[in-house]
């Protein structure tokens, strides 16, 4: 069985999609930008020996585009821009230093996933949009390394969140105390902590009783449950994590295939097939079918 896991959540699932229309002040994300730059520099140091000087220069340009996009809060396409604007609004209106840091980190990791190209041709297209001609060989060489920025950001976010949770004596952030936005984004950082499965399992235990009382969004518990299950090579319960299985874009094994829609409905998710066929996954489906 050949399996390729794709990013499986649109930003509209993570933040409200009716964000502010005005453009936030980019100066307020300066701290986030400096950390992004530090991560990029570290990533360059890790891979420098295996790339040519031209390829290193191309990769550095990619990091610069990420840095600029985060600083200026610009995204490709109106739907994505609406969500980046919303995260920017959360940063600008944050009541506490914790909230501002949380939303800054969410903006960084989401932007990295937004700009990351799925395949070699997408790398060529991305550079072309910036007026840079890149060969197929160079695109293929740097493509696997472009994700290093994302993984390094995930690692940094996980360590930060673990420290914050320790300060709270292991009490998870509830909607009644902190609101839905905080609830969404502490979950988001956990969802992408795939390098620390023990932490994900621990948070899952903290979230489960809170989901039953709507002190977190139940669908976020479902997403994390499936994420951990996939990471442990177990069947999913809710079918939220999609991948490429022998040329078919799907969920892979499910705990109870005949009851999956009822299980999804119990946590506020729509029918599975509607989710799989959603427009957001058009590119992922095309790549999956082409790879077979």
pLDDT at 2: 33
What pLDDT digit, counting tens, does each position of 40-88 carry?
444 445 455 589 999 999 999 999 988 898 999 987 666 678 889 999 9
pLDDT at 186: 98
pLDDT at 41: 45
Domain range list for the chain: 3-291
Confidence class for position 6, pLDDT limits 50, 70, 90 = very low
Burial class of residue 291, CB neighbours in 10 A (0-12, 13-18, 19+): exposed
| Inter-residue contact 194 to 227 (CB < 8 Å) | yes
What pLDDT digit, counting tens, does each position of 184-205 carry?
999 999 999 999 999 999 999 9
Confidence class for position 264, pLDDT limits 50, 70, 90 = very high
Q: How far apart are CA 292 and CA 289, in angstroms?
A: 6
Confidence class for position 3, pLDDT limits 50, 70, 90 = very low
Answer yes or no: pTM beyond 0.75.
yes
DSSP string, 145-190: HHTHHHHHHHHHHHHHHHHHHHHTTTPPPPHHHH-HHHHHHHHHHH
Which of 90-99, 113-122, 239-248 has the largest mean confidence? 90-99
Q: Is the pLDDT of residue 172 over 90?
A: yes
Helix (H) or strand (E) run with residue 65 in it? helix 53-72
Q: Is the pLDDT of residue 147 over 70?
A: yes
pLDDT at 112: 84
Q: What percent of the chain has pLDDT over 70?
A: 82
Q: Is the pLDDT of residue 18 over 70?
A: no
Confidence class for position 17, pLDDT limits 50, 70, 90 = very low
Confidence class for position 292, pLDDT limits 50, 70, 90 = low
pLDDT at 10: 37
Q: What percent of the chain has pLDDT over 90?
A: 62
Q: Torsions phi, psi of 4, nearest 5?
A: -125, 120
């Amino acid at each position: 069985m050949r399996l390729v896991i794709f990013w499986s959540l649109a930003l509209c699932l993570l933040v409200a999609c009716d964000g502010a229309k005005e453009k936030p002040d980019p100066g307020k994300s300066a701290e986030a930008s400096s950390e992004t730059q530090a991560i990029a520099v570290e990533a360059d140091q890790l891979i420098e020996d295996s790339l040519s000087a031209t390829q290193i220069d191309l990769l550095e340009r990619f990091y610069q585009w990420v840095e600029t996009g985060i600083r200026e809060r610009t995204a490709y396409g109106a739907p994505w821009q609406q969500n980046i604007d919303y995260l920017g609004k959360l940063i600008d209106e944050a009541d506490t230093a914790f909230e501002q840091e949380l939303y800054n980190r969410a903006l960084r990791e989401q932007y990295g996933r937004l700009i990351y190209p799925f395949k070699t041709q997408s790398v060529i297209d991305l550079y072309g949009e910036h007026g840079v001609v890149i060969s197929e060989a160079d695109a293929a060489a740097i493509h696997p390394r472009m994700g290093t920025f994302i993984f390094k950001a995930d690692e940094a976010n996980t360590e930060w969140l673990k420290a914050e949770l320790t300060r709270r004596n292991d009490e998870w952030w509830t909607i009644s105390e902190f609101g839905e936005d905080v609830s969404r984004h502490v979950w988001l950082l956990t969802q992408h902590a795939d390098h620390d499965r023990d932490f994900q399992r621990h948070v899952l235990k903290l979230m489960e009783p809170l989901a039953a009382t709507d002190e977190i969004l139940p669908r976020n518990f479902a997403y994390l449950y499936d994420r951990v299950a996939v990471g442990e090579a177990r069947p999913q319960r809710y079918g939220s994590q999609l991948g490429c299985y022998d040329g078919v874009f799907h969920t892979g094994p499910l705990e109870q295939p005949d009851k999956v829609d009822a299980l999804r409905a119990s946590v506020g998710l729509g029918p599975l097939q509607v989710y799989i066929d959603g427009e957001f996954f058009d590119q992922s489906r095309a790549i999956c079918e082409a790879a077979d």
